[in-house]
Structure 1
Amino acid sequence: MHNPPEFLIRNTLKPGDLGQVAALHGKVYSEEHDFGLGFEAYVMESLLEFYRAYNLKKDKVWVVESEGKMVGFVLLMHRPTNRAQLRYFILAKEFRGFGIGSRLMKEWMEFFGECNYDAAYLYTSLGMDAAASLYGKMGFRKISEMKSKNFGVLLLEQYYELISPTRL
Structure 2
Amino acid sequence: MSSICLIDTSVFVNMLNVPGLNQDAERVGADFLDYVDSNCTFILPMATILETGNHIAQNGDGRLRRHTAQRFCDAVCAAFADEPPYRLSEFPSTREVLEWLAEFPDKAGQNKAGNRTGEGTSFGDLSIIKEYERCVARFPMSELFIWSLDSDLEAYHHRPEHVAHR
* TM-score computed with the length of structure 1 as normaliser: 0.35
Per chain length, whose mean CA-contact separation is higher, i.e. which structure has more relative contact order (CA < 8 Å, sep 6+)?
2
Bigger share in helix: 2
Q: Larger strand proportion, structure 1 or 2?
A: 1
Q: TM-score, normalised by structure 2?
A: 0.35
